[in-house]
Structure 1
């Protein structure tokens, strides 16, 4: 997995004999590519995949594909010629097949997403995906990341003993919006206290979070984001180009937060709580809050999930997604899909990383200017 400044993660796959760098996206379920693809046969079907930002459209075509050591002789993908796609050569959707626009358009398992095709034709392969996203700004995590299909990443075998968090399964009527979503226990703020929040998802007692490797900035409820950044001295809620409305805070401000899932606490590295951005090389960098108030425009989003935990969360875990019976083949075997998360962030080492990266090895984090304001002085987005 290649890491572009902690905001885009790509891997190389072969489509039709051409090596293409594709964005890895657990939040969608379709494969698409731009440009000329050799050994590709167009169909009569067209499709357009819509994302939280942008879309990608074109003819559905068929080509041989190689991915993660597996070969699919006749994979359906969109040869993109229209829309406003992300600025990459391609994208591989790693989400559940029910959310695939290509599968729905063609109406056949032969048009299933890449991972479903792999699992269907390689029945002895364990049907799970696992990945680690690297952190380019952290000195203690020098690798860019890794992704595997059907095997655990070497050195991280402890994942097998982690809690198996049930995937939140939507009713059949909403299955097109199915994501890799799980229940979240609590969000703990920089003051060490749990941030109160009540889920908006019907029939759920806990908040529902989607794990989405395609989202740079996690999208969370406004009151949680405000509790993280609103008490920072000098914090401002601003519209900043090119990221839009965001919390902006001093780059020297260390914030330590955590997320509890399945009874397990996952500390978030302070370099993931705020991101350093270069707007103009002639002026100092700015730092924006990574966990931003949700701006997702889906009309029914509040009925399906409460938040999207994107890259800034996922960099802190080794993530294993077991597809269970979310594989589109006839089978008498029923198995519930689940997600396992292995914590990768040690708070002590993370603090040292922050001091080294943001403070030039001079620890000023205990200075009064970095103390949180009283709760009564908290700002709102």
Structure 2
């Protein structure tokens, strides 16, 4: 029997050190995982604090969606002159419902006097862990072409000037229309992500740690450039020295490449099923199985294989600790620990791969809207990417961070053998079919589009697991 598994609850914040104008400080932090039913493997969020009419709200930052919503306290007062019912839809088919309003908004030293936002109903926030983490909402940092911003679309449909509903970021950019407007985000880590971490989020400025190096990188053009997303071409994926075969379902994509969505608001990362299976089966000792119809890998907790993604001809190593989550496991032999896959398979959409925080914390990213602000990904919009993971140091981290936890007896010993319902999955092997005759490998992941920004839970239940530990 599978027991419900929940992730532990931590609400810790450490302010990020960033370079900025003295009048425009923007501070970000990482919040570790909250409790959630099932083996969701939902890591923490990267958050910043905004002020609406002088009231502080801690919000997750999300480059996959456009609008701002918060759950305001009962005594919060704001402008309801254009109050309309609004719904924000996210990747797993979940929604956030509320009403529109206006308030003076401040982020660091940036202020806009009449910012549109959604005041969400607390009992209608369908995004896992947002409120459980003690956060108040979510701020979108994506493009705001009509149709990608529910508030702008709602205003347009109801005779209200859409520009009144445009996201905060674009209200700030409109104040400096002739300069190169961009945001820069660095999603740092601490050890095995069991505590909070520094995170860097700046508007029209660069983190001093990366400023020189990122300035020397070549811009990465968006692809296909007409899907309203921060998506780019992925040239290759290596698991150690082994290259896995790529193929795209997105029209016009060059042969042997993938379209990857770069999304800081999604904790997960996903690949099409065949490529996901190829990635994990190239890790020595990998075991594949299903929980019900949900596919999952178990890999050795000491895995130090470095996965490398190649974008624009540049290699970006992924830390081995980002490939799996540590999970308690029990069977007739007793209690133990297994490490389960943190990347998941997911059907394609108008992109193939989703690079959420699992991947993005290995890359310092500049999202460039261009001199004439691109409200949809056209013209001069592009990205600059900088690897922040040293592959050799990452391999050393596995022993100094993760394996040290076993040595210190913080966790039960790692399971030895092949758990019931799993089988060894060597490179080139073919995945076993799921238990259901009507299912297929990819269908086991989900039937929703993860691309609508955040709200994309990931992971797979493992039989006989208890309460999850920090990774």
Residues 238 and 248, structure 1, Cα contact 8 Å, conserved in 2:
no
TM-score computed with the length of structure 2 as normaliser: 0.69
How many angstroms apart in 2 are the aligned matches of 1:252 and 1:48?
Answer: 44
Q: Which residue of 1 aligns with 2:393?
A: 349
How many angstroms apart in 2 are the aligned matches of 1:91 and 1:204?
Answer: 32
Q: Which residue of 1 aligns with 2:360?
A: 314
**Pairing of 1:50-69 with structure 2 (within 5 A):** 50-53=89-92, 54-69=94-109
RMSD (CA atoms)? 2.9
Q: Deviations over 1:206-251 (max 9, x none)?
A: 31110011222201111121112225425233439xxx65323232
Change in 2 beyond 3 A, CA 1:73/1:125: farther
Q: Does 1:28 align with 2:65?
A: yes
Residues 222 and 293, structure 1, Cα contact 8 Å, conserved in 2:
yes
Q: How far apart are residue 137 of structure 1 and its match? A: 2.5
2:285 corresponds, among 233, 249, 252, to: 233
Residues 316 and 344, structure 1, Cα contact 8 Å, conserved in 2:
yes
Change in 2 beyond 3 A, CA 1:239/1:64: farther
How many angstroms apart in 1 are the aligned matches of 2:46 and 2:327?
Answer: 17
How many angstroms apart in 1 are the aligned matches of 2:137 and 2:266?
Answer: 16
**Pairing of 1:127-276 with structure 2 (within 5 A):** 127-138=181-192, 143-157=197-211, 158-171=213-226, 178-190=228-240, 192-205=241-254, 206-231=257-282, 232-233=284-285, 235-239=287-291, 245-276=295-326
Q: Which residue of 2 aligns with 1:294?
A: 346
Change in 2 beyond 3 A, CA 1:326/1:235: farther
Q: How far apart are residue 358 of structure 1 and its match? A: 1.9
Q: Does 1:2 align with 2:49?
A: no
Q: Which residue of 1 aligns with 2:141?
A: 94
SS of the equivalent of 2:85 reads strand
Residues 7 and 311, structure 1, Cα contact 8 Å, conserved in 2:
no
Q: Does 1:74 align with 2:104?
A: no
How many angstroms apart in 1 are the aligned matches of 2:45 and 2:405?
Answer: 28
Q: How far apart are residue 197 of structure 1 and its match? A: 1.6
Unpaired runs of at least 5, structure 2: 1-27, 33-42, 157-161, 408-416, 418-423, 433-440, 442-471
Change in 2 beyond 3 A, CA 1:195/1:30: same
Residues 355 and 362, structure 1, Cα contact 8 Å, conserved in 2:
no
Q: How far apart are residue 278 of structure 1 and its match? A: 6.0
Q: Which residue of 1 aligns with 2:9?
A: none
SS of the equivalent of 2:84 reads strand
Q: Deviations over 1:51-82 (max 9, x none)?
A: 11321111111011111420011111110013
Residues 224 and 232, structure 2, Cα contact 8 Å, conserved in 1:
no
Q: Which residue of 1 aligns with 2:402?
A: 358
Q: How far apart are residue 124 of structure 1 and its match? A: 6.1
Q: How far apart are residue 179 of structure 1 and its match? A: 0.9
Higher helix share: 1
How many angstroms apart in 2 are the aligned matches of 1:266 and 1:327?
Answer: 27
Q: How far apart are residue 181 of structure 1 and its match? A: 0.6
How many angstroms apart in 1 are the aligned matches of 2:70 and 2:329?
Answer: 30
Shifted more, 42-51 versus 261-270: the winner is: 42-51
Q: Deviations over 1:281-306 (max 9, x none)?
A: x95444221221115xxxxx53x111
Unpaired runs of at least 5, structure 1: 172-176, 296-300, 364-368
Shifted more, 263-272 versus 2-11: the winner is: 2-11
Residues 280 and 286, structure 2, Cα contact 8 Å, conserved in 1:
no
Larger relative contact order, structure 1 or 2 (CA cutoff 8 Å, min sep 6) = 2
Residues 138 and 353, structure 1, Cα contact 8 Å, conserved in 2:
no
1:111 corresponds, among 138, 161, 165, to: 165
TM-score computed with the length of structure 1 as normaliser: 0.84
Change in 2 beyond 3 A, CA 1:136/1:327: same
Change in 2 beyond 3 A, CA 1:66/1:203: same
SS of the equivalent of 1:323 reads strand
2:78 corresponds, among 27, 33, 40, to: 40
Shifted more, 121-130 versus 259-268: the winner is: 121-130
Residues 185 and 263, structure 1, Cα contact 8 Å, conserved in 2:
yes
Q: How far apart are residue 14 of structure 1 and its match? A: 1.1
